Each structure stands twice: as structure tokens, then as C-alpha cells.
């Protein structure tokens, strides 16, 4: 089960209203579903259920919920056409979902996919870890890599905390590579 609380603007809490919630409150639309992963963006949320489906709710002004529109989901709604997903990620205005096995007609990608124009330079750095333990790093634009930005934080305790969070994400990502395929 999933409980949400805090600022409710843009329906990001999934309760069907945009009110702020001061205590943990069950997201009723997910009652009875076994949630195995939660991803929280700036104004939207995603969950992955044990049947490997993705549900999304909250802000959708850039189509980050994957429903083909920019209409807000006030409550969790199934993301159609995305099956077999083990994990999802939510950014400020985008989402990603991935599976541990490729679709039957999918071709493997061994390099970052180029985009014709940089639209949101805030996330202009990529780090990829492939099955052969090869690491690919790609930085677009003038922004420093995430680790360099974290090291520049003041006071030093803030930099240490930011780096610990980066390492935690990398550890989780590494562990996910070795999860058994169900």
C-alpha cells in the first residue's frame, strides 16, 4: 500500500484533490495492489506493481504520465502500453520505465540516443552502466557532472550528504542489474 502526505498541489498526492494532507493517508486507488517501487518527481508520482505495471498521477503538463495527453490524473491511473516494468524514475517533467528483459523486436542500444536540441539543460548529464560493467558518461552543455556539482556545495556536510545520495542511487541501480527476472 502507498500513503502520501504533504503539499497536494497538482494532485501529486493521488487522493483526487489538491488539498495539503498533514498525516499519512492511504492512496485509495492503489488499495489491494502490491506496490514494489515508488518514484517521485517534482509534481507527479509513479508506482510499479508486482504485476509489473506502471501507474501515474499528478501533474502532466509535459506528458510525463505517458497517457498521450497533458491532462492531469487526479488519482493513480494505469500507464497503457508499458508492461514488464521493474523500476520507474520520475524527473521534474519526465518519466522513465525499464524492464530487465528486452522486448522481442527491440534492438540493443549501446550508446546514448542523440536528441536534436537541448530543451532542459538541468538534467544534461548521463551515466550508463552496461551488462559488461562498461560505464559510459556523457555531458551535454556547460553544466558540470552531477558529482562535481555536489562537491561544490557548501557547507562540506551538504556535499557529503549529496554524494551519499548519489552513491545510494548507484548502489540501487547496481543491485537492480542482478535481480532475478520473473
130 in any annotated domain: yes
Tell me which residue range forms the domain holding 83.
3-98
Same domain, 74 and 143: no
- As a whole number, mean pLDDT of residues 115-143 equals 54
Instruction: Based on the fold, state whether residues 11 and 91 are members of the same structural domain.
Output: yes
Most confident of 30-39, 101-110, 151-160: 30-39
Of residues 91 and 54, which shows the higher confidence score? 54
Asked if residue 107 belongs to a domain, the reply is no
Give the confidence band of 131 by pLDDT, cuts at 50, 70, 90.
low
**What is the mean pLDDT of the segment spanning 38-61?**
94
Asked whether residue 139 carries a pLDDT value surpassing 60, the answer given is no
pLDDT band, very low/low/confident/very high, at 121 (cuts 50, 70, 90)? very low
Q: What is the pLDDT of residue 145?
A: 63
Q: Is residue 105 part of a domain?
A: no
Same domain, 86 and 133: no
Kindly state whether residues 21 and 91 are assigned to the same domain.
yes
pLDDT (0 to 100) of residue 43: 93
Do 93 and 9 lie in one domain? The reply is: yes
How large is the average pLDDT for residues 95-117? 61
Between the alpha carbon of residue 68 and those of residues 45, 65, 81, 93, the distances in Å are 16, 8, 11, 14
Does residue 80 lie in a domain region? Answer: yes
Residue 182 lies in a domain: no
Q: Indicate the number of domains in the chain.
A: 2
Non-local CB neighbours of 53 within 8 Å, separated by 6+ positions: 78, 79, 82, 83, 85
Q: Mean pLDDT throughout 156-160? A: 79
Question: Whole-angstrom Cα distance, residue 21 to residue 122?
Answer: 30
**Phi-psi domain of 81 (left: phi exceeds 0; alpha: psi -120 through 50; beta: other):** left
What are the helix (H) ranges across the chain? Answer: 146-151, 156-177
Pair 147, 166: CB distance under 8 Å: yes
Q: Which residue, 65, 98, 131, sits at the end of a domain? A: 98
Answer whether residue 103 is part of any domain: no
Q: Does residue 109 fall inside a structural domain?
A: no
pTM, entire model = 0.59
Amino acid at each position: 500500500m502507498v500513503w502520501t502526505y504533504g503539499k497536494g498541489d497538482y494532485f501529486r498526492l493521488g487522493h483526487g484533490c489538491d488539498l495539503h494532507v498533514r498525516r499519512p493517508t492511504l492512496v485509495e486507488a492503489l488499495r489491494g495492489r502490491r506496490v514494489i517501487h515508488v518514484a517521485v518527481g517534482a509534481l507527479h508520482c509513479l508506482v510499479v506493481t508486482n504485476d509489473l505495471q506502471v501507474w501515474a498521477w499528478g501533474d502532466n503538463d509535459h506528458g510525463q504520465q505517458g497517457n498521450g495527453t497533458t491532462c492531469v490524473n487526479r488519482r493513480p491511473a494505469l500507464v497503457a502500453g508499458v508492461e514488464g516494468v521493474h523500476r520507474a524514475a520520475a524527473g521534474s517533467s519526465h518519466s522513465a520505465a525499464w524492464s530487465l528483459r528486452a522486448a522481442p523486436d527491440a534492438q540493443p542500444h549501446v550508446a546514448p540516443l542523440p536528441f536534436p536540441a537541448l530543451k532542459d539543460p538541468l538534467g544534461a548529464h548521463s551515466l550508463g552502466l552496461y551488462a559488461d560493467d562498461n560505464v559510459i558518461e556523457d555531458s551535454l552543455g556547460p553544466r558540470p557532472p552531477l558529482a562535481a556539482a555536489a562537491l561544490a556545495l557548501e557547507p562540506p556536510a551538504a556535499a557529503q550528504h549529496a554524494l551519499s545520495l548519489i552513491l545510494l542511487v548507484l548502489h540501487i541501480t547496481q543491485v537492480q542489474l542482478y535481480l532475478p527476472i520473473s
